């Protein structure tokens, strides 16, 4: 089963928690999906926008099936940088989705296309000026405080997007699946009448913390094998 199939049963929250468990940076952004139920995973295809869509079309020239266009528009909120034609072309080029640190437009048409798109929101106007394009416009993309490139994977769902090193993907997915399974078992027990506090021995944690104020709940959870925060 490939990562795309496995991500169908996971969430970005599971993967983010796996990064914490693996002591890797949690590189995530609170981007919103344009369509209902949008979900995406794929290799980062970076593009730094400077006011013209030619950078996206050039990126598609070297795209591999399943890549995700990751657009760095500096988080700007005064204009949209991606519209329906760019999303339609991404689908035609075999991309799995589009992730934008910035705004999109043509929302109704983008939803009709059906390709997963994530952004900071929408605005009717496109770019009002063209700036000098960086020399490394197709090498990497800044997403919030993070810089990502084709050695990374991007995963997106209703909670936002998370970036992980492709080289660590298998290990992170195994951790995420373990976290998912434990959470499901805990949820089933709660529905069955056994409180989460009881499952994780919360009274014991409070007693231990009274004796050792430096003890954290996360340390306690790891000792008892519970999962709530990671």
85 in a known ligand binding site: yes
The predicted pLDDT at position 226 comes to: 62
The number of CA neighbours under 13 Å toward the Cβ of 229 is: 8
Closest CA to 148 of 28, 8, 18, 31: 28
pTM for the predicted model, two decimal places: 0.89
The 8-class DSSP code of residue 122 comes to B
DSSP β-ladder status, 68-72 and 160-165: unpaired
First to last CA, the chain: 25
The 8-class DSSP code of residue 50 comes to S
Fold type of domain 3-171: Glucose Oxidase; domain 1 (3.50.30)
pLDDT digits (tens, 9 = 90+) for 72-83: 999 999 999 999
Least confident of 9-13, 141-145, 191-195: 191-195
Residue ranges of domains in the chain:
3-171, 195-230
94 in a known ligand binding site: no
Question: Residue 220: pLDDT above 90?
Answer: no
pLDDT range class, residue 115, cuts 50, 70, 90:
very high
pLDDT range class, residue 217, cuts 50, 70, 90:
confident
User: What's the farthest any 2 CA atoms get from each other in the chain?
Assistant: 63
The predicted pLDDT at position 136 comes to: 93
113 in a known ligand binding site: no
Token output for 57: 């079309």
159 in a known ligand binding site: no
Q: Are 17 and 43 in contact (CB under 8 A)?
A: no
Question: Residue 229: pLDDT above 60?
Answer: no
Q: Are 135 and 10 in contact (CB under 8 A)?
A: no
In the block, tokens 């000792």 appear at: 223
109 in a known ligand binding site: no
Phi, psi (rounded to 5 degrees) for 15: -70, -40
Mean pLDDT of the chain: 94
């Amino acid at each position: 089963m490939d990562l795309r199939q496995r991500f169908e049963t996971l969430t970005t929250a599971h993967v983010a928690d796996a990064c914490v468990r693996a002591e890797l940076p949690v590189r995530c952004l609170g981007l919103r999906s344009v369509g209902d139920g949008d979900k995406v995973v794929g290799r980062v295809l970076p593009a730094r926008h400077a006011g013209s869509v030619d950078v996206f079309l050039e990126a598609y020239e070297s795209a591999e099936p399943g890549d995700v266009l990751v657009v760095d528009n500096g988080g700007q909120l005064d204009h949209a940088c991606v519209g329906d034609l760019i999303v339609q072309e991404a689908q035609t080029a075999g991309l799995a989705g589009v992730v934008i640190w910035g705004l999109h437009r043509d929302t109704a048409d983008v939803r009709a296309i059906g390709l997963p798109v994530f952004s900071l929101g929408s605005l009717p106007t496109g770019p009002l000026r063209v700036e000098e394009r960086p020399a490394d416009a197709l090498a990497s993309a800044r997403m919030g405080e993070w810089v990502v490139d084709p050695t990374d994977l991007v995963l997106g769902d209703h909670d936002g997007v998370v970036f992980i090193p492709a080289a660590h993907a298998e290990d992170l997915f195994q951790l995420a699946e373990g976290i998912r399974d434990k959470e499901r078992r805990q949820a089933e027990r709660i529905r069955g009448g056994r409180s989460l506090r009881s499952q994780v021995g919360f009274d014991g944690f409070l007693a231990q913390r009274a004796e050792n104020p430096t003890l954290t709940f996360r340390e306690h959870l790891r000792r008892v094998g519970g999962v709530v925060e990671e």
